[in-house]
Amino acid sequence: MSTALSRSRVGSAASTTVKYVSLVVAVVITLVPLSVLVLASFKTSTEFGQTGPFDLPASWFNFDNYVEAFQKGGMVEGFINTSIILLFSLAGTIVIGTMAAYAIDRFNFRGKPLIVGLFLVATLIPGVTSQVATFQIINGLGLYNSMAALILLFMGTDIISIYIFIQFMQSIPTSLDEAAMIDGANRWTIYWRVILPLLRPAIATVVIVKGIAIYNEFYLPFLYWPSQGTISTSLFRFKGPFGAHWEIIAAGTVLVIIPTLIAFVFLQRFIYRGLVQGAVK
C-alpha cells in the first residue's frame, strides 16, 4: 500500500513537471516570434544590420521607427479609416441584425422558414471566392474604391450576429412584450424600448466578435479600396517601400497588434464566449 502510494506521488510529481515544462515551452513558442519583433522595432537601421534578432536594442526609447511607420507608412490613415468603418459597420450590423432577429423570433409570418433557410445556407458560401462575382455588384453600384463598399459588405454579410441575437432573444420572456402591448405599445416601440435595451449583452458580444473580425479583415479592403488603407492594407503595403527596413515593418506590426492585446486583456471573458459561439455556429 505504502509503496503504491509513494510511487503515485513520484509519478504525479513527474507529471507535474512535465506539465509545467510543456506549458512554458508553449508560451516561449508563442511569445518569442512576437518579442523579437518588439526588439527589432526599437533598433536604428544600422543597429538592426549589425545585431542579431535576440540582441537587446541600444535604447528602449528609440521611437523613431514608430514615428516613421505612423507618418510615412500611412498607419494614421489606416487607424482613422478602420475606426470609421468599425463605427458604421457595427452600428449598422446591430440595427439590422437585431431587427431581423426580432422579426424571426417574435413573429409568425408567411415565408419565415424560407427566410431562415436563406440565412442558414448563406453561412456555407465561402466568403473569399465569391468575391469573383460580388465584385461586379459593388462595381455596378458605383461603390468600387470607396469606404462605403466595405461598410456595405460588412453589414450585409453578417449572419452570425443575427444568430447570436436570436439565441439571446429566446431567453427574453415574451410576457414582457405582452405587458408592453397591453400598455398600448406598438411593435416598433416594443423593439426599441423593450427588446433592444435587454439585448445589451448580446450586442456587446457582437461588437467584440465582429469588431475583431473587421479590424483584422484584409482581403475586402485590399480588393475594394485600393486607393486608401485600413489597418491591414496599410500594414501590407509596408512590404514594398520598407522592404529592406525590418525595423520599421516591425514597428508597424507591433502598432497593429497592441490594440488587439489591450482589447484581449480587458475583454477576455466576452472574447472567449463570443468567438467560440461564432466559430461553431
- Min dist CB 133 to other proteins, Å, is 4
The stretch among 57-65, 66-74, 126-134, 199-207 that binds other proteins (CB under 8 A) is 126-134
Kindly report the three-state secondary structure assignment for every residue of 191-231.
HHHHHHHHCHHHHHHHHHHHHHHHHHCCHHHHHHCCCCCCH
Complex with other proteins: residue 87 or 258, whichever CB lies closer: 258
Angle formed at CA 155 by CA 264 and CA 209, multiple of 5 degrees: 15
Binding residue (CB under 8 A) for other proteins from 11, 142, 201, 241: 11
- Min dist CB 40 to other proteins, Å, is 7
Residues 129-158 contacting other proteins, CB under 8 A: 129-137, 152-153, 155-157
Q: How many residues bind other proteins (CB under 8 A)?
A: 96
Residue 205 found at the interface with other proteins (CB under 8 A)? no
Residue 177 found at the interface with other proteins (CB under 8 A)? yes
The stretch among 58-66, 67-75, 198-206, 212-220 that binds other proteins (CB under 8 A) is 212-220
Binding residue (CB under 8 A) for other proteins from 48, 85, 97, 169: 97
The stretch among 58-66, 68-76, 198-206, 214-222 that binds other proteins (CB under 8 A) is 214-222
Residue 249 found at the interface with other proteins (CB under 8 A)? yes
The stretch among 57-65, 68-76, 83-91, 242-250 that binds other proteins (CB under 8 A) is 242-250
Residues 16-75 contacting other proteins, CB under 8 A: 19-20, 22-23, 26-27, 29-34, 36-37, 40, 52-54
- Min dist CB 70 to other proteins, Å, is 16
- Min dist CB 18 to other proteins, Å, is 9
Binding residue (CB under 8 A) for other proteins from 86, 100, 150, 203: 100
Using the structure block, give the residue that is written with the C-alpha cell 470609421: 84
Cell numbers for 203: 450586442
Taking CA atoms, 187 is separated from 86, 208, 278, in Å, by: 29, 28, 29
Judge whether 57 and 74 are in contact, CB under 8 Å: no
Residue 103 found at the interface with other proteins (CB under 8 A)? yes
Complex with other proteins: residue 207 or 256, whichever CB lies closer: 256
Complex with other proteins: residue 61 or 280, whichever CB lies closer: 280
Complex with other proteins: residue 16 or 59, whichever CB lies closer: 16
